[in-house]
Amino acid sequence: MTKIEPQFIHCCYNNCIAYTGQYAEETECPHCEETRYITNTSKPRKHFVYIPLIDRLKLQYGNPIRAKVLTKYRENLLRREKGELADFFNGKLFSEFHVRELGLFEDPCDIALHMSLDGVQLTNMRNHEVTPVILINLNLPPEERYQVKNILGSLIIPGPKKPRDLDTFLRPLVDELLRLDEGVDAFDSYTKTPFRLKAWVTMVTGDGPALADAIGMKRPGNAFRPCRACEIKAERCGGNTYYVPHSNYNFGNPPLREDLRGMIRMVEEADSDEERKWTGISRSSILLELRSLHFPRSFPADIMHLVLQNIAPTLYKLWSRTKLPMDDRTNSNFTRESYHLDDASIAEVSAALVEARENIPTYLSHTPRRIDRHHNGYKAAEWEAWVKLFGIPLLDQRLDDSCVDNFRLLSCIYLLSTQFSLKHSDVDILDDLVIRFVRSYEELYYGHNPQRVSVCSVNIHYLLHLPSYIRDCGPARYWWQFPMERFCGILKPKARSKSQLNYSVSNELVIMEHLNHVQLSRLRSPTLPASYLVLMDNYEATLSSQQRLRLVREYEIINVRFYKRCKIREGFVVGSVKSQRRGDITRSSCKVCYSQPQQLQMGFGIVQYFIEAVDKYQQLHRLAWVQKLRDIDIDHSKRICSYGSEGGHCWIEAEQIQSLIGIIQEGGVKFIVTDVNLFDFR
């Protein structure tokens, strides 16, 4: 029905190579010498699945609803004000490199793709890793493109080991992208006209090792020059691993790599191990064949891996004295440092997280877990909640002020870089924040001590390039790895056959792609999300005389219906006191922050219930009866917000609700946490 025909491609039994390109006719692996075929048969010992891209793109243009979206989104976005970075297409990489230098994207039907690759462990024993390669269609608006059903799963490099020659596995995808560079015949069902379908990969993301392999550079930790964006030199300091302190780094004028593509070719021609060592380049990548990729600007460092899976866990380990051997109390040379948290403080922080569970809405965070017991198992989303919501109020008054200030800088960096849109002036502020963070971080935790150099990982260094990546590719949320994490989260349970893990996940990928594209083969319009708020869970009640008097005086209401919940927008549902059936097991969803007309400061309160009311002019109003939180104290310097007690009630328009809030009670103080920015970023 979808006409998607997967290709089954032979590969080495030990995952060294795929039998493509120069190895297409080989009968044994050139690296491990394992035979390609089962003895006395023409059947391969191992294969992987590649799902062709062209057929799926044609299928999408075969649906008039999808074809219109693919054609119009970028066009409408670029009509907006030039001073705003609201997506990849507002960045310098697209305007300067793809459009001006290469002359691409002349036709509104041309498709921009974002390639992502990352490793995922299929077993709890972590002994079988596969590498999915996915494509994200940037022609779709952000609210659609990152849905799993719209992610284009292209191939899964089988496990259990990482491939020795990644390029041979990427060959089928690169060959198809080269065809799309020239253009293939297709039909636009929206305009009812034939056209030349063209598509280009504009950026590639992944974790550090995956990106290094894709570019053709040595992996971080093994390279004298580990950064693809600049020529900073790493140091070993007696060990075998390279680290990246910034003792002699020029923050104002860093030694950038302007033409990494040319440098890779030069090193390949020189064929010298000495050149490879001094440049950090290991080989010529197959991705060099794609002219749409700028080396290195098309390879931004993923903020999820940088901050949430590396820097935030490292900071916690430093505070809890588990990162450096010299911080271990059993070490004879142990000396208490200013950044150390004592065991009692760590236990108090963990207890506060657990006690706050029922007051932290699911909309804001996963259920908080004790950080002292579970930090090694924290997922990226949990570290995100720690960085954005919990860390600052819980560390204040416990950790040394300079360390808390440094953590505040990290929180600001993450919050600012992941905004939905940014002004160029915001990126200038980010420039200052990352430099201040790196300098204070190394002053606090490294201090030019060779025994502490392991805290200077390349992830700290890549923060310095984050503003440049945002200027090139737009806000970090449009190229972070969360879509890949969601894709892998769905893929992992599909590995049902424990004896044939590779084939199990590959078959499921094929089924997923068929199901995702079946809807596009039909002409019916998809269900569109409501653009207005919706009240839910109607119940019977009556207004008190005071409530009715205020309602009539303020809105001239004549008819009222009561509701327990309100859907403000897609994915955001606000509850009320009436909807909280079990306070002991149900997490709160009724505490909100809301805009106040003619006031700059947000209001905070507890929604008692919602009503739908009609006034004497037959106008419909959707209102919330809110108990206000009073004695609000917003400390901009500490980035902490708290309140004193519950106060009186008021009616507010449901549209005024901006987000949910969570409450953390600590030391008699009630801290407010929310995803709405209440503070300046300076």
DSSP 423-465: EHHHHHHHHHHHHHHHHHHHHHHTTT-GGGGGG--HHHHHGGG
Residues 485 and 460 in one domain: no
> Which domain-ending residue is among 439, 458, 473?
473
CB 233 within 8 A of CB 223: no
Q: Can you give the length of the chain in residues?
A: 682
pLDDT for 3 equals: 81
Residues 38 and 104 in one domain: yes
Tell me whether residue 459 is in a domain: yes
With a cut of 50, list the residues of the chain below it in pLDDT: 526, 528-529
Residues 563 and 422 in one domain: no
Any residues with CB less than 8 A from the CB of 85 and at least 6 apart, and which?
91, 421, 422, 423, 424, 427, 470, 471, 474, 475
Tell me whether residue 191 is in a domain: yes
**DSSP letters for 117-170:** E--EE-STTS--EEEEEEEEETTS-HHHHTSGGGSEEEEEE--SSPPS-HHHHH
Residues 308 and 294 in one domain: no
Tell me whether residue 342 is in a domain: yes
**How far lies 640's CA from each of 593, 663, 681, in Å?**
15, 12, 13
Residues 82 and 106 in one domain: yes
Q: How far apart (Å, rounded) are the C-alpha atoms in residues 504 and 508?
A: 6
> Which domain-ending residue is among 434, 457, 473?
473
Domain count for the chain, please give it.
Answer: 3
CB 186 within 8 A of CB 65: no
Residues 443 and 333 in one domain: yes
Residues 100 and 124 in one domain: yes
Residue 548, domain CATH: 2.30.30
Q: How far apart (Å, rounded) are the C-alpha atoms in residues 330 and 315?
A: 21
pLDDT for 81 equals: 64
Q: How far apart (Å, rounded) are the C-alpha atoms in residues 256 and 436?
A: 20
Tell me whether residue 26 is in a domain: yes
Residues 513 and 538 in one domain: no
Q: How far apart (Å, rounded) are the C-alpha atoms in residues 86 and 427?
A: 13
Q: How far apart (Å, rounded) are the C-alpha atoms in residues 319 and 340?
A: 5
Residues 170 and 141 in one domain: yes
Tell me whether residue 182 is in a domain: yes
Q: What is the pLDDT of residues 324-381, one digit of tens each?
A: 999 988 887 888 999 999 999 999 999 999 999 999 999 999 899 999 999 999 999 9
Residues 499 and 588 in one domain: no
Q: How far apart (Å, rounded) are the C-alpha atoms in residues 264 and 284?
A: 6
Q: What is the pLDDT of residues 379-404, one digit of tens each?
A: 999 999 999 999 999 999 999 999 99
Residues 316 and 424 in one domain: yes
Tell me whether residue 232 is in a domain: no
User: pTM (2 decimals)?
Assistant: 0.94
Tell me whether residue 237 is in a domain: no
**DSSP letters for 355-370:** HTGGGS-TTT-SPP--
pLDDT for 484 equals: 95
Tell me whether residue 638 is in a domain: yes
Residues 438 and 565 in one domain: no
Token duo for residue 450 = 């060779």
Range(s) of the domain holding residue 614: 534-674
CB 596 within 8 A of CB 602: yes
Peptide bond into 44 cis (omega under 30): no
